Amino acid sequence: MKLRIAIWAVGGFLVACGWAVYFFARNKDLPIEPVVSSIIRWSCPIAIVGSHHPVGLYSTLAANVATYALIGLLIEILRRQFNHSN
C-alpha cells in the first residue's frame, strides 16, 4: 500500500514539474488558453490558489505531491474495502 501511495506522490511531482517546464518555456506575452487553464486546475489543484495569490515553485511541488498522495491513499482505502467485501 505504501508503494502505491508513493507512486501517486511521484506522479503528482512529475505533473507539477511538467507544468513548471511548460510555464518556463512558453511565451509570456501570450495569454493562457482556457483549455490549458482548465487542465492545469484539474491536474494541479494548487493552481486554483495560485490564480489569486502568488505561490512559489517549491510550494506548488509540495502541495501537488501531498494532493496526489492523499488521492492515492483514498483510492487504496476504497480498493481494500472493495476487495474485502468480495
What's the structural domain count of the chain?
1
Residue 73 burial by CB count (10 A; 0-12/13-18/19+): exposed, middle or buried?
middle
The residue ranges of the chain whose pLDDT is under 50 are none
What's the confidence (pLDDT) of residue 82?
86
| pLDDT over 70, % of the chain | 98
> pTM of the predicted model, to two decimals?
0.84
Residue 74 has which C-alpha cell? 483514498
pLDDT of residue 86: 63
Helices 2-25 and 57-85 pack at an angle, to 10 degrees, of 150
Structural domain that includes position 7: 2-85
